Amino acid sequence: MSGKKSYNVVVLPGDGIGPEVVEQAVRVLELVSSKSKDFELNLKSYNFGGVAIDAAGKPLPDDTRNACKAADAILLGAVGGPKWGVGKVRPEQGLLDIRKELDLYANIRPASFPSESLLAYSPLKESIAKGTDIIVVRELVKGLYYGDRKEADLDTPGGDGEATDMMVYNRADVQRITRLAAYLALQQSPPAKLHSVDKANVLATSRLWRRVVTETVQHEFGDKGLELDHSLVDSTAMLMVSNPRKLNGILLTENMFGDILSDESSVIPGSLGLLPSASLSGLPDGKSRCNGLYEPIHGSAPDIAGQGIANPIGTILSAALLLRWSLGQKEAAENIESAVRKVLDTEQMGGLGLRTKDLGGEASTKEVGDKVCAELEKLL
């Protein structure tokens, strides 16, 4: 017996650039595993998304589902693409199903600069982007994504062609995501500000959201010095790109608003390809088994798939979050983040300044993976 902890990590490369970026994150995880005295990772890939539709007729085949349920953590690339269109069997449905089945209610999407040297690549002026540090906490298993739905019948003559998507939230849904957001806010010193975002001037679900967030923070965290404010999603979207530092802290919101605002937040550090995410079923406090799914926030990027130019940093940073939050391996996570910073930093900052095309560079996906591994090796 080696005495090492052993973790099973399910890998779901998916479609488009998914396998390209996941390959680099897997190399990083394998390196960390081979060098660690404390733990080892057993990584195994499964079909998921469009490739699973092609192979098995459904986006979430049973063997994939079972492996995900038994895993210590899951690493995902991305699913979807024009090949599967918006037809009846869609790759994205597999993602919605696995989130629901594992009850991954908390989607955490940090939008900060992995390296200050990226400031020059932000489409925002440096004076506006500098110092942005927002963590989007998005409710992930309710809302419009999971309510009753009626597809429009546009082919029957005389029909009204009506479609419906129902948005449902209840008190418990809002309480648990608020607790997780508060937990993350309290991890920072001083505690991060909590910004709750809704559309309470129009939607009943948002009025419920606003009241339950307020009550949960007051009743359960009233003595912890947590600051909470509320804002409407439309003006928040404007603020995100005009004065994003005003949103520094934890941005707590429902499923659809969080999907949109997190993609918007990625323009601040400069590329959608940079941002990682974690989808968790409980607090990442080391006490509960945190069976999480980790993925970059971007999609399968059909426009650049197969060219070897996708930015793998969001997926590599997702692997770091996986180590930290699902496996409790903080040091390994920090080493990966340091290696990424070193690769992105410019020479003046003691780094390599290596970047893919989305960040104005010429490096390939594999070159970035090579350099992150080389820098990581020095730290292990």
Element holding 229 (H helix, E strand): strand 228-232
Smallest gap from Cβ 50 to ligand NAD, in A, equals: 8
Smallest gap from Cβ 273 to ligand IPM, in A, equals: 14
Which residues are CB-neighbours of 25 under 8 A, at least 6 positions away? 75, 312, 315, 316, 318, 319
According to the binding rule CB under 6 A, does residue 72 interact with ligand NAD? no
Q: Of 46, 105, 145, 294, which is the active-site residue?
A: 145
Smallest gap from Cβ 271 to ligand NAD, in A, equals: 6
Task: Give the DSSP per-residue string, 88-117.
Answer: SS-HHHHHHHHHHHTT--EEEEEEE-S-GG
The answer to whether 96 touches 256, Cβ cutoff 8 Å, is: no
Report the residue number, 301 or 333, with the smaller CB distance to ligand NAD.
301
Per-residue x/- mask for ligand IPM, residues 256 to 285, rule CB under 6 A? Answer: ---x--------------------------
Residue 342 designated active-site: no
Residue with tokens 């597999």: 94
Residue 7 designated active-site: no
**Which one of 25, 67, 79, 134 is in contact with ligand NAD (CB under 6 A)?**
79
Smallest gap from Cβ 279 to Mg ion, in A, equals: 12
According to the binding rule CB under 6 A, does residue 139 interact with ligand IPM? no
How far from 253 is each of 63, 125, 300, 338, CA to CA, in Å?
33, 27, 24, 30
Residue 370 designated active-site: no
Report the residue number, 303 or 347, with the smaller CB distance to ligand NAD.
303
According to the binding rule CB under 6 A, does residue 80 interact with ligand NAD? yes
Q: How many whole angstroms separate alpha carbon 319 and alpha carbon 22?
A: 9
According to the binding rule CB under 6 A, does residue 95 interact with ligand IPM? yes
358 binds, among ligand NAD, ligand IPM, Mg ion, none (CB under 5 to 8 A by kind): ligand NAD
According to the binding rule CB under 6 A, does residue 92 interact with ligand IPM? yes
Report the residue number, 167 or 256, with the smaller CB distance to Mg ion.
256
According to the binding rule CB under 6 A, does residue 270 interact with ligand NAD? no
Which residues are CB-neighbours of 158 under 8 A, at least 6 positions away? none
Smallest gap from Cβ 111 to ligand NAD, in A, equals: 15
According to the binding rule CB under 6 A, does residue 369 interact with ligand NAD? no
The answer to whether 317 touches 338, Cβ cutoff 8 Å, is: no
Nearest by Cα to 50 from 18, 3, 2, 5 = 18
The arrangement of strands across the sheet holding 73-78 comes to 39-45, 5-14, 73-78, 292-296, 276-280, 106-112, 133-139, 249-253, 194-198, 228-232
Task: Give the DSSP per-residue string, 31-66.
Answer: HHHHH-SSEEEEEEE---THHHHHHHSSSS-HHHHH
The answer to whether 141 touches 105, Cβ cutoff 8 Å, is: yes
According to the binding rule CB under 6 A, does residue 329 interact with ligand NAD? no
Q: Which residues lie across from 41 on neighbouring strands? A: 7
Q: How many whole angstroms separate alpha carbon 253 and alpha carbon 247?
A: 13
Per-residue x/- mask for ligand NAD, residues 273 to 312, rule CB under 6 A? Answer: x---------------------x--xxxxxxx-----xx-
Residue 229 designated active-site: no
Q: How many whole angstroms separate alpha carbon 286 and alpha carbon 72?
A: 13
**Which one of 11, 297, 336, 368 is in contact with ligand IPM (CB under 6 A)?**
297
Residue 285 designated active-site: no
Report the residue number, 93 or 291, with the smaller CB distance to ligand NAD.
93
The answer to whether 257 touches 237, Cβ cutoff 8 Å, is: no
Site for ligand NAD in 5-44 (CB under 6 A): 17, 21
The answer to whether 22 touches 77, Cβ cutoff 8 Å, is: yes
304 binds, among Mg ion, ligand IPM, ligand NAD, none (CB under 5 to 8 A by kind): ligand NAD
Binding site for Mg ion (CB under 5 A): 259
Binding site for ligand NAD (CB under 6 A): 17, 21, 78-81, 92, 95, 272-273, 295, 298-304, 310-311, 314, 358
Binding site for ligand IPM (CB under 6 A): 80, 92, 95-96, 259, 297
Residues with a catalytic annotation lie at 145, 199, 234, 259, 263
